[in-house]
Every structure is written in C-alpha cells, then in structure tokens.
Amino acid sequence: MPICRVCNDKFPNKIKIDGQVKNISNRKRCLKCSPFGNSKSGCPSEISRHDKVIGQCRVCGNTKGLRGGGRCHSCNTKIRRYKMKLKAVEYLGGKCLICGYDKNIIGFDFHHVNGKDFGIGNCASKSWETVKKELDKCQLLCVICHRIEHSNRDGDNFIKETEKYRGKYGF
C-alpha cells in the first residue's frame, strides 16, 4: 500500500470512481491531498503541496525541487559539473600549459585549438568518452592565460594605433 508524501497516510492501490476502477498505486499523494484534476492540495491544513516544506537541500537549504540524496536539482547539476571538471582538469594534466598554475579548479578554462563541438562547461550529462574526445581538442589554461590567448589587443597594429590615439581626453 502506498504512503502519501504529504500527510503520510496509507492509501489503496486501486479505487472505484464513477463506476470505474482506477489504479492509483503510482501516485505520490493520496486523493485527499491531491484529488483528480486538482493541482492544489485538498489537505485539511489548506496548505498547497508546493508550499509545504517536506525537507531542505543539504547544500543550499532550498525547499523546492528536492531530488534523491536530499539535494535540490540545481545543486545536483552543480555537483555533476564540478566532478566532471575535476576529472577533465586531471585528464589534461592538472596545470596551465603556459604558466603552470595548479591551484583551485575554478581557475581553469579549456581552450579549444582544433574546432569545438560543445563547451566543456555544458557536458555534465554527456558520457566520459564523449567528453574525452572534446578534451583532446583542448589545452588546459588558467583563466588569465586563456583571456590573453583570446585577446587581440596585444597585436602590433593595435599598439601602434593606441600610441597615435589622442581621443576625448587628449591622452
């Protein structure tokens, strides 16, 4: 017999409604707390099931969108992304290819040098084999070296034009 997640009462697997037998064994809430065709709670407490606090996320304290393990959807996604980045940083050597930075993984970027099918930051739901193929097109750089790598401001033409420019303030 299922147990209602809202009021913790047991309810039957099947019930007869309008002369028809309905299978309600897959429901998460009893008919008192969630009647057919009504998304609002029918509980005597008059609290909507969406407002009722059933638990809190162990990471951020959020009370909505709880998933297995006592964490909310957002925190589960952040954890998956973080773990994938840890593995990716380790796979590419664990330090910046240019300056040797090897501290906090938040300070690393993946610089694509041979085309790009997807960004490494958006791969928490992809298989490790797929991610490795994309990482093989990348260099591990710290955020500063990556920014410099993409900068076009240090070219000779830019420097010459900067020296000639007198602009609004005369410098």
Q: Is pLDDT larger for residue 130 or for residue 19?
A: 130
The position carrying tokens 């019930």 is 15
Looking from the CA of 140 toward its CB, the CA atoms found within 13 Å total 24
DSSP assignment of 48-66, as one string?
-TTTS-----TTT---SSB
**Per-residue pLDDT reduced to its tens digit, 39-91:** 444 444 433 444 444 678 888 888 877 766 788 888 888 888 899 999 999 99
Q: How far apart are CA 102 and CA 108, in angstroms?
A: 9
pLDDT surpasses 50 at 32: yes
Per-residue pLDDT band for 17 (boundaries 50, 70, 90) equals confident
Across 100-125, average pLDDT: 88
Q: What pLDDT is attached to residue 154?
A: 65
Residue type, 116: K
pLDDT for 31 beyond 50: yes
Rg (CA), the chain: 27
> How large is the average pLDDT for residues 108-128?
86
Question: What pTM value is reported for the model?
Answer: 0.58
Domain borders along the chain are 1-52
- The pLDDT value recorded for residue 171 is 67
Average pLDDT of span 110-130: 85
Percent of the chain with pLDDT over 90: 29
Model confidence band, residue 131 (pLDDT cutoffs 50, 70, 90): very high
Q: What is the per-residue pLDDT across 153-171, written as a single tens digit (0 to 9) for each?
A: 667 787 788 888 887 777 6
Q: Which residue has the higher pLDDT, 52 or 110?
A: 110
